[in-house]
Amino acid sequence: SKLEIFVDELPDMPKIYGYDVVDGVPKSKSLKIGMFKKKWKFHRDLPPTTVYAYGLSKRKATVPGPTIEALHRIDTHVTWQNQLPPNHILPWDPTIPTALTKTTHGIPTVVHLHGGIHHSESDGNANSWFTSRYKIKGPTWTNKTYLYSNNQHPGNLWYHDHAMGLTRVNLLAGLIGSYIIRHPKIESPLGLPHGDEYDRPLVLFDRSFKTDGSIYMNSTGNNPSIHPQWQPEYFGDAIIVNGKAWPSLTVRRRKYRFRIINASNARFFRLFFTNGLRLVHVGSDSAYIRKPAASNKTLVGPSEITDFIVDFSKSESNVAILANDAPYPYPSGDPVDELTGKVMKFTILPDKELDTSRIPKKLVEYPVADLSSVSQTRYIAMYEYTSNIDEPTHLYLNGKPYDAPVTETPKAGSTEVWYVINLTDDNHPLHIHLGLFKVLDQTELVKSDEFKDCMTKINDAVKCHVDEHARGKKVAVPNYEKGWKNVFKMRPGFVTKIVVRFGYIHTNTSYEFDATAGPGYAYHCHTPTRPTHKAGKGISRRIESV
Ligand code: C2O
């Protein structure tokens, strides 16, 4: 039997403040946030689901976890505590590179603050995992307490598990949450909708459930003789927002701000309102864009964040459905159905409200990406390499697995141009830790045999001449994604040119910490790819010291 949609109310996740205010002055704060195994109600008619949840205590733990509110330049220390009992609640495959081949001694976890610009010891390296009470620790584990200095620009981040080989199942189990860095001096004058009622994070993901309420994940590998359980992508048939399946929210006739995080493993959302309400974007991933950008739809890949204002006073109807029409896998998979095509329902109160919030002409101006100061140009190819044993092809970056020695060693404060060449059939959301980038353009590759041939042979940097082959049509970057991003959707068959800055984007200082110390940083695709058997969230390469 199918679940009835729009029967549960949209929850707000609990807020945890990453600072204290003493005599009106904000002060740094230390938090202890645990990971707990508990039951969670995803829908009125579904029995409680066993999940892994973040929270200050088991009782307070939620899926998604609490929203952490941080303040620009105020340190937040978090001791992430693994309280998970042994034996994973979901099937995962020990034959891929993974933290532990058995979870009978505890579940390896490590937290990455996605979009955070911090010491690599606090970045949640995939090999810095630890089990309950730190009984077993990964090879790059260094410290129990992470320091988030929050010295970066204001915006939206999210925290999620990043353990080697277990990331996809730890996220599916519930280890995700949002994190906001506020900067009142920059943000208050903007006059955007604010306060808990009018400024809300919405964490979206898809899940499938069995009738007993447990999370359904196919446990048969697509090549069982080699990898008994490995399933590269996960698509669920229920759409969850803030921990409820297809919730609904009653809103006033005024402006609201929604910070939308796509926390799905593989599902893209192309969001729109069924009654034609416009989305006025103000931010993309962790940063504000220069000026508001209106559109009817917004495409959010796995791990991307979009931040927009909706003005419900412009609605002619009293109901607005937030809907999704992105095929899965994106872009050439199946169309959505009646249910996966719906996200949540808004019931709009009839009376017009006094609304003092506004959408300013300009938001936040960051320095332009200075192409004249580019110190390095890199070519990064996503290509499905076939190994000599008969197993699924591997999707590697430049033919290298995560464990290979580091090849990208940018300098602190430097600007680089990267050409990312996607020769696979799927769109891949590329995520870069530590750096921020602007997408300059996407150009279709004229896939001459010569080019393909050279791709298959190359094992190191791609030396094929992109210029000679990137001669097809150009696709413009939508206005709402022209700012500084940390994830972007790499179109299949295209080369995407990005300019990456390794340094803060709002000041000229590079970092206030030594970015060359510690285990380094990663860049990777945020979807466990198809067909690959690479660890965690799919392809991974490290950026070492900057
Ligand atoms: Cu959202 Cu390397 O992570």
Q: Is residue 193 part of a domain?
A: no
Query: Are 265 and 315 within 8 A, CB to CB?
Result: no
At 464, the amino acid letter reads C
| pLDDT at res. 456 | 60
Distance 436 CA to ligand 1 centre (A): 13
Determine if ligand 1 sits within 6 Å of the CB of residue 244: no
Query: Looking at the structure, do residues 511 and 427 belong to the same domain, yes or no?
Result: yes
Q: Is residue 49 part of a domain?
A: yes
Closest atom of ligand 1 to 433 CA is: 2
Query: Looking at the structure, do residues 160 and 255 belong to the same domain, yes or no?
Result: no
Determine if ligand 1 sits within 6 Å of the CB of residue 164: no
Q: Is residue 316 part of a domain?
A: yes
Choose the final residue of a domain: 297, 319, 352.
352
Distance 128 CA to ligand 1 centre (A): 14
Query: Looking at the structure, do residues 323 and 375 belong to the same domain, yes or no?
Result: no
Distance 111 CA to ligand 1 centre (A): 10
Determine if ligand 1 sits within 6 Å of the CB of residue 112: yes
On the question of pLDDT at 476 being above 60, the answer is: yes
Using the structure block, give the residue that is written with the tokens 């929203």: 67
Query: Looking at the structure, do residues 44 and 112 belong to the same domain, yes or no?
Result: yes
Higher pLDDT, 530 or 348: 348
Query: Looking at the structure, do residues 140 and 55 belong to the same domain, yes or no?
Result: yes
Distance 435 CA to ligand 1 centre (A): 12
Longest Cα separation, the chain: 69
Determine if ligand 1 sits within 6 Å of the CB of residue 227: no
Query: Looking at the structure, do residues 468 and 538 belong to the same domain, yes or no?
Result: yes
Interval 297-303 mean pLDDT: 97
Name the residue range of residue 268's domain.
Answer: 199-352
Alpha carbon 17 to its chain centroid, in Å, reads 22
Tens-place pLDDT, residues 505-532 = 998 888 888 888 888 888 888 886 543 3
Q: Is residue 194 part of a domain?
A: no
| pLDDT at res. 403 | 77
Residue with CA nearest ligand 1 atom 3: 114
Choose the final residue of a domain: 153, 184, 215.
184
Choose the final residue of a domain: 128, 151, 184.
184
Residue with CA nearest ligand 1 atom 1: 114
Query: Looking at the structure, do residues 480 and 331 belong to the same domain, yes or no?
Result: no
Query: Looking at the structure, do residues 472 and 512 belong to the same domain, yes or no?
Result: yes
| pLDDT at res. 177 | 98
Determine if ligand 1 sits within 6 Å of the CB of residue 432: no
Count of domains for the chain = 3
Q: Which pLDDT band holds residue 469 (cuts at 50, 70, 90)?
A: confident
Per-residue tokens: 455: 């791709």
Q: What is the ipTM of this complex?
A: 0.99
Q: Is residue 140 part of a domain?
A: yes
Q: Is residue 5 part of a domain?
A: no
φ, ψ for residue 355, nearest 5 deg = -130, 110
Query: Looking at the structure, do residues 375 and 288 belong to the same domain, yes or no?
Result: no
Determine if ligand 1 sits within 6 Å of the CB of residue 542: no
| pLDDT at res. 391 | 55
Determine if ligand 1 sits within 6 Å of the CB of residue 303: yes
Report the percentage of the chain scoring pLDDT > 90: 71
Determine if ligand 1 sits within 6 Å of the CB of residue 431: yes
Query: Looking at the structure, do residues 400 and 271 belong to the same domain, yes or no?
Result: no
Q: Is residue 343 part of a domain?
A: yes
Determine if ligand 1 sits within 6 Å of the CB of residue 168: no
Determine if ligand 1 sits within 6 Å of the CB of residue 265: no
Per-residue tokens: 333: 């998979």
Q: Is residue 359 part of a domain?
A: no
Distance 168 CA to ligand 1 centre (A): 11
Query: Looking at the structure, do residues 440 and 330 belong to the same domain, yes or no?
Result: no
- CA distances to 206, 210, 238, 330, 378 from 216, in Å: 11, 6, 11, 22, 40
Tens-place pLDDT, residues 357-369 = 999 999 999 988 8
Q: Residue 39: give its domain's CATH number.
A: 2.60.40.420
The 3-state DSSP class for residue 173 equals: helix
| pLDDT at res. 396 | 73
Using the structure block, give the residue that is written with the tokens 């045999």: 449
Tens-place pLDDT, residues 103-139 = 999 999 999 999 999 999 999 999 999 999 999 999 9
